């Protein structure tokens, strides 16, 4: 394990095991519940638990009641494509590695099962569930050591493979840059899915660079072009179009999400995300 990764893990472990207050025993609060019954909606109920099908039939709002399970099954799925090998502050792969460590340590701290998954193309590598720090460290090392250049990740195919392989209901974190379309409807029916979008600010707000030699990190194709004001506007329009489509999809299927930039603290952003849900 190299010095940079050791430093990252020490910092992350201290955040998870030392800086989290007693009033916040877990970084995340997944659903981790078994369905029990339906009852009529009462003031104060979580509107996310409303069963809209039954509500439409009976013309009265009904909510699903669950029994809490003893432990959660937490899965961190890293969507490993060449586009993660980019960053102006630090590369996105390093941020993905840190997020995986935060989620793994948090699961161990809370006594939950943690599984690490790596999606490359449509292929899935899935680690056995663990409650040990050693198991988390082993997965984090794998993520950090990934050779990403020349690799493409298919979010739709990866989600389908995760649906087929993950049999137990899980709190499933999909970690990637989501620069291509994602179809998560089926996956969200079985699992509580949280999308963790990792970006570099330059990807969303580029500046004119003039004559440049560009290399596609996934295909390896090169392009000598003039990246001026017009190119920036067209590129920005495509990014906005992609993200608007992505956000509509996530909201439609009630998938929580957070965007973390390469110059931000992932731990703080994740705490803020789950602080809103309790």
Give the pLDDT confidence score for residue 24 in this predicted structure: 45
The residue range of the domain holding 53 is 33-68
Give the pLDDT confidence score for residue 20 in this predicted structure: 59
The answer on 224 and 173 residing in a single domain is: yes
* Mean pLDDT value across the chain: 87
pLDDT greater than 80 at residue 122: no
Q: How many domains does the chain have?
A: 2
Structure tokens given for 221: 């194709």
CATH code, 97: 3.40.50.410
Give the pLDDT confidence score for residue 116 in this predicted structure: 96
The answer on 83 and 57 residing in a single domain is: no
- Average pLDDT (91-95) is 97
Note the pLDDT tens digit of each residue in 162-220: 999 998 889 999 999 999 888 999 999 999 999 999 999 999 999 888 888 888 888 88
- Location of structure tokens 């998560």: 184
**Residue that wins the pLDDT comparison between 277 and 255:** 255
Of 11, 41, 68, which residue sits at a domain end?
68
Of 175-179, 221-225, 248-252, which range is least confident?
221-225
With b for 16 or more beta-carbon neighbours within 10 A and e for fewer, the 99-108 pattern comes to bbbbbbbbbb
pLDDT greater than 50 at residue 41: yes
**Residue 225 φ/ψ, nearest 5 degrees:** -150, 170
The answer on 54 and 77 residing in a single domain is: no
- Cβ contacts of residue 63 below 8 Å, gap of 6+? 38, 39, 40, 41, 42, 45, 46, 49, 50, 51
Give the pLDDT confidence score for residue 276 in this predicted structure: 45
The answer on 161 and 40 residing in a single domain is: no
The answer on 177 and 54 residing in a single domain is: no
- Average pLDDT (131-138) is 94
Give the pLDDT confidence score for residue 72 in this predicted structure: 85
Position 19 confidence tier, pLDDT thresholds 50, 70, 90: low
Give the pLDDT confidence score for residue 21 in this predicted structure: 47
């Amino acid at each position: 394990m190299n010095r940079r990764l050791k430093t990252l893990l020490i910092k992350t472990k201290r955040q998870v095991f030392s800086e989290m207050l007693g009033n916040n025993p877990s970084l995340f609060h997944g659903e981790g519940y078994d369905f029990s019954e339906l009852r009529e909606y009462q003031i104060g109920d979580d509107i996310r638990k409303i069963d809209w099908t039954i509500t439409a039939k009976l013309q009265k709002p009904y909510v699903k009641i669950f029994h809490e399970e003893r432990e959660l099954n937490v899965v961190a799925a890293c969507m490993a494509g060449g586009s993660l090998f980019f960053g102006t502050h630090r590369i996105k792969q390093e941020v993905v590695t840190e997020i995986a460590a935060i989620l793994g340590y948090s699961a161990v701290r809370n006594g939950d099962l943690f599984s690490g998954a790596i999606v490359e193309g449509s292929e899935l590598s899935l680690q056995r569930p663990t409650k040990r720090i050693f198991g988390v460290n082993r997965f984090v090392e794998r993520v950090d050591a990934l050779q990403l250049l020349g690799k493409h990740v298919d979010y739709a195919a990866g989600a389908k493979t995760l649906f087929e392989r993950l049999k137990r209901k899980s709190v499933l974190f999909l970690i990637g840059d989501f620069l291509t379309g994602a179809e998560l409807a089926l996956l969200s029916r079985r699992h509580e899915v949280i999308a963790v979008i990792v970006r570099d600010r330059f990807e969303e707000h580029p500046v004119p660079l003039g004559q440049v030699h560009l290399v596609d990190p996934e295909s390896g194709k090169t392009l000598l072009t003039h990246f001026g004001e017009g190119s920036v506007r067209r590129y920005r329009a495509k990014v906005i179009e992609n993200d608007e489509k992505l956000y509509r999809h996530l909201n439609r299927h009630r998938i929580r999400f957070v965007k973390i930039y390469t110059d931000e603290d992932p731990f703080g952003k994740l705490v803020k995300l789950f602080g809103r849900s309790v």
